[in-house]
Amino acid sequence: MSFKKISSAEILGVLNKGSWNKISSGQTESYYMNKSGSIDLEERLDAVADVYKISRDPSDYLLIPARANSIGRFNANLDGWTFDESVAFRPELGCRTYQTYNNKPHFVEHKASRYEVARGVILDSHLNLDNPADDTVKEACMKAIGLAPDNDVFVEVVLAVDQTKDPSLASAYKSGAIKTFSMGADVADTVCNVCGNVATTTWEFCDHIRNKYSNREYKMDDGTLRVAGELCRGTVYQELSAVADPADKSAVIQEGILEIARKAASGKDPDLQEIISFTARHAKDIPDSLASVIYNYLSEKGK
C-alpha cells in the first residue's frame, strides 16, 4: 500500500514568443531560464503525445519552469522530502527520485484519472541548488530535519503546455492569472521526524503524526525543536496540476457564470471550449442545478 501526496508549487517563468518572462514574485534563480541546455521537444512529444492526446507540433507549446517541491522542509500538508531521498538512485526506475517527474502529465486541479485529459507534459527536472537560504527557510528546515542549510534546495521542472488543447489555460499562464501548481506523488512510506516511526498506512501512524496539524513543537535530545511531519520515502512523482485556490471560490464561479451570461445576452453564443474549461476547473464547486443546465446546453450544442 502507498500514500498519495499533494503539495503546492510555484511558477518561475513563461517562455512566450521566444523569450522568458519572469513570473515568480521573489528573486528565485531558475535553472531552465538561466543555464539549461537544449531539450529535444519534438522527441519528447513523439513519446507521449498519443497517450496524453496533446499536439505533436513543438510550436503549439508554452514552456513553463516551476518550483515543484522544496527539499528539507515541510509543505502546507506537513509532508517533506530529504535531500538523500530526492537524489537516491532508483534501479527499478533507472533514475533518481526527483527525475520521476520526467514525462509525467500536466492536469488541471488533479483531475488525473484519465491521461487523455492532460494539458501538457513535464519535460525535465533538475535539483536546484542556486538559491541561498534565508532565515525563514533555515527556520523551517530546523523544525523539519534539525539542520539549517546554506541553500534553499528544491526540485525545478520545466513544463510544456499545449496551447491548442486549452487556450484559456495557456492565456491564464501568460497573463499571470494562474501562478501556482500542485504536484501529486505516490510514496511507499513516511517517517515521523520526531520519533522515527515508519508508517505504510494511516493505521501505523504514531501520535505525533496523528496530531501533526496541531503544530506542536517537540524538544529533541539535542535541544532543538521539531514540528511533527512526515518525511516521504519511496517517492514516485506522478503529475503536476494547475490549481487555483482563491479565498472565495464562489466569487470566481459567479464571475465565470456572469461572463458566459453576458455573451449569451448580447446575442453571441458562448464559446464551447470556454464553457468546458470553466466547468472542468470548478467541477467540485458548481451546484448540481447549474451543472445540469450546463450539461443540457452542451448536449444540445453537440447534436
pLDDT in tens, 266-288: 555 655 555 655 555 555 555 55
Q: Quote the mean pLDDT of the chain.
A: 81
pLDDT-wise least confident of 50-54, 186-190, 226-230, 279-283? 279-283
Percentage of residues of the chain with pLDDT beyond 90: 50
Q: In one letter, which amino acid is 235?
A: T
- Which three cell numbers mark 134? 534565508
SS3 label, residue 234: coil
Average pLDDT over residues 195-208: 96
pTM: 0.71
Half-sphere exposure of 252 (CA within 13 A, CB side): 16
Which position has the higher pLDDT, 111 or 258?
A: 111
d(CA 141, CA 81) in angstroms, rounded, equals 11
Helix (H) or strand (E) holding 261: helix 249-265
Percentage of residues of the chain with pLDDT beyond 70: 68
SS3 label, residue 103: coil
Q: How many CB atoms lie within 10 A of CB 178?
A: 20
Q: Is the pLDDT of residue 221 over 90?
A: yes
d(CA 33, CA 47) in angstroms, rounded, equals 24
Q: What is the DSSP letter of 209?
A: H
